[in-house]
Structure 1
Amino acid sequence: MKKEILRTIIYFTLTVLAVSYLIFRYFVMTAPSDFHIEGLVPAAFSVIFYSIASIHELAKCHGKYFWTAIRCSIFHPTSKVYVSLSYLLQIKTSGDNFYFLVKGNKIDQYQPVGGVFQIVGSKNIEKDWNAQLKTDKTNPRDLRFYVQASKIPEIIQWFKSEKDRETGVWREFREELIDTGVVSEEIFKTTNVEFLRTEECILKKETRFDNEKYHTLIYKVFRIELTPEQENEFNKLKNNKKFTEDYAFVKRKDIESECFDEHKKRIGQHTKYIL
């Protein structure tokens, strides 16, 4: 990506120089020589057309991330960015359309089952991206860290490649629901998971943590396909009690308003991504 950004800067600079020359030629010069008329003018137009076409091809190649790369590399290269790369699981009971949430263990709110992906293999983000880790002692490989904005395009490309990182969603499901005894391990020996979409919040202005200016949050959203037996397990929980200190069953309107139980219980902002 760095080479493409450098090329873009070069093309843009050449275009500005060529346009500046043409303005000078047609609005300032009164008696241009043949060298200008037959040499420099055609050359300037050629530079403009070639540069614009090249920038267009680069933009088309990188799609929606092209402007992100420009922002990160040119406008905010040294800004501190908090990065979180995670997944969310949509668990919904059929018929009544209740969404199942769990109580967050770091923030006093209810949110979808899920969490940050983890590094696998020998990937060293501290060395590769000069990242500052934001992890706890029990999860040292979590993909939650700080970097300079100039590294964001490379991080996005790496994340999309799925190389050297966790790709499954079973770990958090087990930790939050089975290991805690919320649902039966026997009934949830296997689960079918459907990928729904990716939700991104890139270079969002934030000052939640010390010295950071922006957040870059990427969520992979999945839906758990419940078998009749598994759905019955969740229905038993719901019929027994719609919310406890460990979990809650909420409606769409609750998620949209980010609260339930007469505004006493908070729902995390990112929960809307499972709707």
Structure 2
Amino acid sequence: IMRWNKNIRLSCAYLFRIKYNGKYLLVKGNRIDQYQPIGGVYKYYASFNELKTKLEIEDEEEINFYEEGDLRQITKGKYLEKFLDWFDTKKNREVTVIRELIEELHIGEISIEQLIKSMQIEYLKTVKEEIKFSKHFQVDELKIFNIYEVRIPDETLAEIINNDKYSLVEAGEINKLCFMKKGLSTKISETSKYII
């Protein structure tokens, strides 16, 4: 009610818990200098456009963070409940989470087919953060994360993680939001705590 006519930025994403030898796999961010869980933003489909218009939803304009079809959008507070109800139906949007895994983990000699056949993906939970003001975007923001556990055979994962863009970290390091890499304190994203 308080935000009835105020803009709210929506970000609907998924994150993966991937463990190897008891540690959590994080990947170096492309847009922000930090390590974070592998994951991605859900995409919406053309069939969403009618509801998008009805709920006065606008795509985010910041090019650095938005790609076409991302569920990173702006709406008014009065439409928030209807948006959340729609999101929970899983209609008009991406429901598989394999796309981002293929983009992030298809390294070297491992084929996509081998990767897909060897892994198990299990839903763990949904995290809906409290609405809070984003200093970066200068608007109130609601972030939703679906958390999945991905089990990949150790021999496959060992091939993948032999790359500087990945790091294996302890739960305690995630809680501290930093770890040591090559003698330097290295930032871990706030969202990493959701995969513990």
Residue identity opposite 1:127 in structure 2 = T
1:1-275 equivalences in 2 (<5 Å): 74-93=1-20, 96-124=21-49, 126-134=52-60, 136=63, 139-178=67-106, 181=107, 184-185=110-111, 187-190=114-117, 191-210=119-138, 212=139, 214-226=140-152, 230-236=153-159, 244=164, 246-261=165-180, 264-275=185-196
Secondary structure class of the residue paired with 1:119:
coil
* Equivalent pair of 2:105/2:160 in contact (CA under 8 Å): no
- 1:145, CA displacement in angstroms? 1.1
State which structure, 1 or 2, has the greater radius of gyration over its C-alpha atoms.
1
> Structure 2-normalised TM-score?
0.87
The answer to which structure has the higher helix fraction is 1
Unaligned runs of 5+ in 1: 1-73
CA RMSD, Structure 1 to Structure 2 (Å): 2.2
* Equivalent pair of 2:59/2:74 in contact (CA under 8 Å): yes
Change (3 A) 1:163 1:183: farther
- 1:130, CA displacement in angstroms? 1.6
Q: Which has the higher contact order (CA 8 A, sep 6+)?
A: 2
The answer to which structure has the higher strand fraction is 2
Unaligned runs of 5+ in 2: none
CA distance in 1, matches of 2:159, 2:102: 19
* Equivalent pair of 1:177/1:183 in contact (CA under 8 Å): no
Aligned residues: 189
Change (3 A) 1:183 1:203: farther
- 1:237, CA displacement in angstroms? 5.4
